[in-house]
Amino acid sequence: MLSKMLLGRYIPGSSVIHHLDPRAKIVCVVLFMIIVFFANHWTGYLLLILFVVSITKMAGLSLIFLFNGLKLILILLVFTFMMHLFFTKGGIVLIDATLFTIESAGVVQGVYITIRLAMLILITTVLTLTTSSVSLTDAIERLCRPLKTLRLPVHEIAMMMSISLRFIPTLMDETEKIIKAQSARGSTFMTGSLKSRMNALTPVFIPLFISAFKRAEELAVAMEVRGYQGEAGRTSYRVLDWQYKDTLAIITVIIFGVFLFMIRQ
């Protein structure tokens, strides 16, 4: 059930995208998030889709695989579409029922916003699928370093992030194990009313929390005995190496953005 979830997962590979500096990738994704809003008619949206699809291909990921992994997100997309469908007014009235009306502007707006959201989700998924969580947090720590002048504990925040990312798969495994143990005792998660399904979660969450707290305490002790005391005096084993291709990647995204801005109507 959880096995097909793609969020936060990393698939090792050797594509161009995999080899980009994680800092470059993050900057590109942030830029893309802004660029997405430049598109305001169908050519723009078509270009956006084309751009994302080609990046996915460059990363060596199959679209069908991505789609299967993001099925849960589909609910969100459908919901967004529906909201626009029913509540955005304007244009020609397409359906006029007593309870609601659907107008053409709603359909158009719904499609556009859904594409925007889908592209954002896809591009960020490509980022996490092609970047290991360790290099991702390394990159965030480096990118946030200027904030240290504001007395923000950048290193500690990055450490917290990398620890939580590190434990997502562990907790997933644990959850799956507990679900199995409880369903072997006849607990049903897949059938019954919503209420009984909600009740079925208690036997999963209590053991999960207990083990998570235990794990956290053990980890804290293990870090302390190895002399961890925050950032003081730490050097990095992994060194991030910025290359031409990283600059090139950012420039490409900017050019794409500028182009999209120019064809705006």
Q: In the complex with other proteins, which residue's Cβ is closer, 153 or 192?
A: 192
* Nearest approach, Cβ of residue 223 and other proteins (Å): 23
Q: What number of helices (H) and strands (E) belong to the chain?
A: 11, 2
Q: In the complex with other proteins, which residue's Cβ is closer, 40 or 175?
A: 175
Q: In the complex with other proteins, which residue's Cβ is closer, 10 or 112?
A: 10
Of the candidate residues 68, 199, 247, 252, the single one contacting other proteins (CB under 8 A): 68
Interaction mask 196-215, other proteins, x per CB under 8 A: ------xx--xx--xx----
Q: In the complex with other proteins, which residue's Cβ is closer, 133 or 187?
A: 187
* Nearest approach, Cβ of residue 158 and other proteins (Å): 29
Instruction: Say whether 231 sits in a helix, a strand or coil.
Output: strand
Q: Does 130 bind other proteins (CB under 8 A)?
A: no
Please give the residues from 7 up to 46 whose contact with other proteins meets the rule CB under 8 A: 11
User: CA 37, CA 135: separation in Å to the nearest integer?
Assistant: 28
Task: Return contacts of 170-177, CB within 8 angstroms, 24+ apart.
Answer: 170/215, 171/208, 171/212, 172/2, 172/5, 174/208, 174/211, 174/212, 175/2, 175/204, 175/208, 176/1, 176/2, 176/3
Q: Does 135 bind other proteins (CB under 8 A)?
A: no
Residue with tokens 């031409």: 244
Q: Does 195 bind other proteins (CB under 8 A)?
A: no
Longest CA–CA span in the chain (Å) reads: 70
